[in-house]
Amino acid sequence: MSKTVARPSVARTIGRIALGSALVFAGVSHLTFARKDFQAQVPDWVPVDDDTVVLGSGVAEIALGASLIFLPKHKQAVGNTAAVFFTAIFPGNLSQWLNERDAFGLDTDRKRFARLFFQPVLIAWAVWSTRDKR
């Protein structure tokens, strides 16, 4: 008697790889061309130098993204970790809005506020794309 193995759908696999690629790109941008913009998101209460926070989160994003792409056997654990990461960096988005800091073309309160609603989408994407069909 053979067991049925749950497999991810093609859409979930594409979603996982796309999210992983986006994370790698974002991580590289933390370390290079968008470093100043990311510094605008570091909340004032963080007791670490803004640039150190940006570099560390960039490295974390590269690691998470690469893991989503290249470690499919561990996708659920990596997806959970990515969801926690997206939750942990939300205060930076909130800080950018509350402190009216321009970065990434978010140069109005309306644009900065609208961006806050994208974080739950990233969290859901990380969880959904790393689960098998049921």
Q: Kindly write down the DSSP assignment for every residue of 20-79, as one continuous string.
A: HHHHHHHHHHHHTTTHHHHHTTS-TT-SS-HHHHHHHHHHHHHHHHHHHHH-GGGHHHHH
Averaged pLDDT for residues 76-99:
97
Residue 3 lies in a domain: no
Q: Which two tokens stand for residue 42?
A: 């570091």
What pLDDT sits at residue 8?
Answer: 74
What pLDDT sits at residue 35?
Answer: 97
Mean pLDDT of the chain: 94
Residue 4 lies in a domain: no
Residue 123 lies in a domain: yes
What pLDDT sits at residue 60?
Answer: 98
What tens digit of pLDDT does each residue of 6-51 get? 677 999 999 999 999 999 999 999 999 999 999 999 999 999 999 9
Residue 114 lies in a domain: yes
Q: Which two tokens stand for residue 15?
A: 């979603």
Residue 70 lies in a domain: yes
Residue 33 lies in a domain: yes
The answer to pTM > 0.85 is yes
Residue 133 lies in a domain: no
What tens digit of pLDDT does each residue of 119-133 get? 999 999 999 999 997
Residue 30 lies in a domain: yes
What pLDDT sits at residue 51?
Answer: 98
Nearest to 82 by CA among 39, 19, 35: 19
What pLDDT sits at residue 103?
Answer: 94
| Residue 63 structural domain | 10-128
Phi then psi for residue 106, to 5 deg, are -85, 85
Q: How many domains does the chain have?
A: 1
